[in-house]
Chain A
């Protein structure tokens, strides 16, 4: 069997297991990265959101065989060099309740801010990740705050 070689949080890795295994289960069961969460398995909730080549993707429907040559980055890597603005804004706005959806929300928000540095409420509404605890109002505030932080940092 050919192994699939890709980069995971900046490190090159090879995978020779079942090519159909979704990335989510590889991360959680084999790579020891449990920050990425399972919520639905059918791309309907966003709890499993990671970045593939810099863009948000739902890892529960990404088979390992599709990852050759890709750069995968998970929540564990988001703040690896100091907390990302979204992470700081999340803490300041006191977003998490149970916290289970938040890794996925943060990965989606970081992706949004890269594409849309000054997002409107309707840009934010394109994030379709579910939060069963209903933290949406604070997520919205936190994304605006993170956008402001990033602008300030860019100006500095």
Chain B
């Protein structure tokens, strides 16, 4: 934007700093004024990620409990597989899902590509292995006596499972928070299967990446601040919660 090649470097820096300060100011204004576009993006982001975590968590808890408490063929293979899937880049999952959902793909007739539903599916796939791997570690390390005590005191297996989860709540909540952290900030998958369509599939990460590149700094900074505050408060919340847990033990 600065075409004057004779401008000395110092004033160039000054200009950038001024621009960022101005943009940050605008960012606050955008957030505080309740700018509908920006809040829509934030709402979509949360809607998609919260739906994904709500759908993925119960299934992941049952799967990880089964992997930890029962012996069956392929158990170890499955555990290794979830541990591997945990580190698959989001963009690879996005690409795979894109190919499945695209018009000529096997699931093309569902018409899900570039919808928020596709983003939810993508984020479920993204957080599921992480949820399973982390909660499996908790269940695996759990004291078997907790389960046996619940059963011998007359709890039905289903109820004993809830008791066990309550005993492990610190580890399990850490797993859910980590899973949520992975998907709320991921960009690769949302971009591929969502397409960053305003009012439809534009979430915080895609907006920051794509709109900033078009010079929309203020919006990018505002959304970045939201993500930052979120991740800081989630981490602080978990630390406080787990600190309480340590005191009990």
Judge: A and B partners, yes or no: no
